[in-house]
């Protein structure tokens, strides 16, 4: 099909009109996608047709360094003769979401999986693999074809902490080799401070965003204000973090069924968010688990409204 001049102008205007993700804001909304938590997960691109989320976190690479990917009903096809997922539909949607100004990152880990490094050498080698398979490198098999992700998220909930700083440092060296775009390192620790699995890594490696899970723990959103401990994370950001401009996100369940504990309604979450915004400059916004839950319950639209207020 040949594009007319008017269509080309309209397409360019549409892309230009999509507000690009700005990490320096305190009003960003990140949400996880891929595990079909609400059992009604849509195609990724459907969630990028409006301005609700700013960051989509693909969940999960739940096995590494022997790579296992799991995106539930969003991708079930593999490369011929391999167990490695090949996800052309997600690849197409990653590029669409990016064209709408959203960042798309891949989460490594999760509550269930087989992952971890034997040491720094193992981690450094795997960082090279990740760059080649998911970013601007080259590999024979790329799960998302020619789509180039915006970053990596570490949701480490098991195993040892060995190798993660080396992994991050090596991946960031690859990031630096491509000045054409901004790449990110994120993590999703549990709210008890310090995090049991990533505590030492958080103190020794660079992070751009930290999605603190304020649920399934005594320090969850449901314990606000008594045990809610955002202040501990703000203090870490300003005194211990390698990146003193790291952004901390308030992690929330997207609905009552999205977590064992910690869910609060939109009104309560707005109260917490506004209090944090008024007192802590480290705030980056809100994160939810997951997009299917938050969209179905209506919490996602409430979050977008409070962030825009």
Phi and psi angles of residue 302, each rounded to the nearest 5 degrees, phi first: -65, -40
Q: How many CA atoms lie within 13 A of 149 on its CB side?
A: 27
Rounded Cα distance between 262 and 31, Å, is 16
Q: 11 φ, ψ to 5°?
A: -65, -45
250 and 211 in contact (C-beta within 8 Å)? Answer: no
Closest C-alpha among 163, 180, 182, 162 to residue 172 = 182
Parallel/antiparallel/unpaired status of strands 151-156 and 114-115: unpaired
Handedness of CA 271, 275, 276, 278 (dihedral sign): positive
Active site residue 157: yes
The residue annotated as part of the active site, out of 46, 53, 76, 157, is: 157
Phi, psi of 142, rounded to the nearest 5 degrees? -120, 115
Reduced to 3 states (helix: H, G, I; strand: E, B; else coil), residue 254 is coil
Distance CA 64, CA 148 (A): 19
Q: Are strands 28-33 and 55-64 parallel, antiparallel or unpaired?
A: parallel
> In whole angstroms, what is the distance from residue 275 CA to residue 230 CA?
10
Q: Write the CA distances from 87 to 96, 115, 225, 281, integer angstroms.
A: 14, 21, 43, 38
Q: Please identify every residue annotated as catalytic.
A: 157
């Amino acid at each position: 099909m040949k594009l007319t001049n008017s269509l080309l102008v309209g397409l360019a205007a549409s892309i230009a009109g999509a507000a690009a993700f700005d990490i320096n804001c305190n009003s960003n909304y990140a949400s996880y996608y891929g595990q079909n938590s609400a059992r009604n997960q849509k195609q990724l691109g459907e969630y990028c047709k409006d301005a609700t989320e700013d960051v989509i976190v693909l969940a999960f690479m739940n096995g590494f360094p022997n790579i296992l990917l799991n995106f539930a009903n969003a991708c079930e096809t593999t490369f011929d003769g391999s167990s490695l997922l090949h996800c052309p539909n997600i690849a197409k949607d990653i590029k669409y979401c990016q064209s709408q100004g959203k960042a798309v990152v891949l989460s490594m880990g999760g509550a269930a999986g087989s992952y971890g490094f034997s040491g720094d050498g193992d981690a450094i080698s795997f960082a090279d693999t990740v760059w080649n398979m998911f970013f601007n490198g080259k590999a024979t098999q790329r799960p998302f074809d020619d789509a180039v992700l915006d970053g990596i998220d570490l949701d480490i909930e098991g195993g040892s902490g060995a190798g993660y700083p080396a992994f991050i440092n090596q991946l960031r060296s690859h990031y630096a080799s491509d000045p054409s775009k901004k790449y990110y390192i994120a993590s999703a620790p549990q709210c008890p401070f310090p995090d049991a699995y990533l505590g030492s890594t958080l103190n020794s490696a660079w992070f751009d965003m930290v999605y603190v899970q304020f649920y399934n723990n005594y320090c969850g959103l449901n314990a606000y204000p008594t045990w809610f401990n955002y202040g501990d994370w703000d203090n870490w950001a300003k005194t211990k973090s390698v990146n003193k401009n790291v952004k901390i996100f308030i992690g929330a369940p997207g609905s009552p069924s999205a977590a064992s504990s910690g869910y609060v309604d939109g009104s309560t979450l707005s109260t917490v968010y506004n209090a944090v915004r008024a007192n802590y400059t480290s705030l980056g916004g809100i994160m939810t688990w997951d997009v299917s839950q938050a969209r179905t319950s209506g919490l996602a639209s409430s979050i977008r409204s409070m962030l825009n207020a």
